[in-house]
Amino acid sequence: MRVVAAARLRRAQENIVATRPFAEKFNTILGHLIAQIENPSHPLLESRELKRVCLISVSADRGLCGSFNSNVIRTTTQRAQHYQAQGAEVTVICVGRRTRDYFARRDYNVIAEYVNIFRQLAFETAVEIVEEFEHLYRDKQVDRVEVIYNDFKSAILQVVLVEQLLPLTPEVPTGDELFLDYLYEPEQEAIFQSVLAKHLNMQMWKVLLDSNAAEQAARMAAMENATRNANELIDDLILQRNRARQTQITTEISEIVSGAAALEG
């Protein structure tokens, strides 16, 4: 399992490394447009009084990956309790079998679930998830959408992140030498609407790729630790067996010597 996880990690790492620059550039372009448009308006930018919150919890479909799943579940539970303490209603979208199993058995309002998507991860899945919570926000059924997932830092480090997806809060770029007053065709507003519509899809795709890479890294580390612990256990058992065998042989030799001495006497 460690070897399989390592092979899958290489592919997952290549995918996330290739996607991150594109996702970051999306944020930059969006920031440029917002900086140049006076009073940009869009339903996904609208901030409302916090009464209903949707949490997207992204875990794995399988276990044997250390604390990967438990960290996401714990953080999601803490966020839910935080908003419930403020009097907000919390709904959950479960991505991965582990979060689905956990929250479905407890008193949580699970409105959607996506299981076994990491076997053949596709961009269409990210689009489907975005459509699920985007229409809830547009219809004012939720006032905020957050995603909780494991961010892939390296093969030995995965960090649980909580990111707000809606309402969108793109940052205006500062200190960007490439930030010029471009002439846009079509108009800035049209480009802004087009980029904004694709922004969430790209961010959700990045979340799924990050979580997939982090899962494989966590499983590889967990299996490596399990292999090392198993080898140590085998060594301890061999040592105990050798000691027991040595004691038995010593006892038998002592009995033979004692019997021979008795016969001679």
Residue 17: both structure tokens together: 């490394």
Q: Which residue has the higher pLDDT, 12 or 96?
A: 96
Contact at 8 Å (CB) between 167 and 44? yes
Asked if the peptide bond before residue 173 counts as cis, ω within 30 degrees of 0, the response is no
Separation of alpha carbons 144 and 209, rounded Å: 23
Separation of alpha carbons 174 and 21, rounded Å: 18
Where in the sequence numbering do the catalytic residues fall? 65
Confidence of residue 34 (pLDDT cuts 50, 70, 90): confident
Separation of alpha carbons 148 and 55, rounded Å: 7
DSSP summary character for residue 203: H
Residue 162 is predicted with a pLDDT of 96
Contact at 8 Å (CB) between 44 and 137? yes
Q: pLDDT tens across 117-146, in order?
A: 998 899 999 999 999 999 999 999 999 999
Confidence of residue 173 (pLDDT cuts 50, 70, 90): low
pTM: 0.82
Task: Check the CA dihedral 158-14-169-181 and report its sign.
Answer: positive
Find residue 146's DSSP bridge partners.
55, 164
Q: Which of 52-66, 91-105, 196-210 has the lowest mean pLDDT?
A: 196-210
Q: Which residue has the higher pLDDT, 153 or 112?
A: 112
Confidence of residue 257 (pLDDT cuts 50, 70, 90): confident
φ/ψ (deg, to 5) at 125? -65, -40
Contact at 8 Å (CB) between 142 and 133? yes
Determine the topology of domain 2-221 in CATH: Pyruvate Kinase; Chain: A, domain 1 (3.40.1380)
Q: pLDDT tens across 191-208, in order?
A: 787 887 788 899 999 999
The continuous run of DSSP H or E covering 211 comes out as helix 188-264
Residue 119 is predicted with a pLDDT of 87
Place of tokens 């689905």: 100
CA dihedral 77, 81, 87, 90 (to 10 degrees): 0
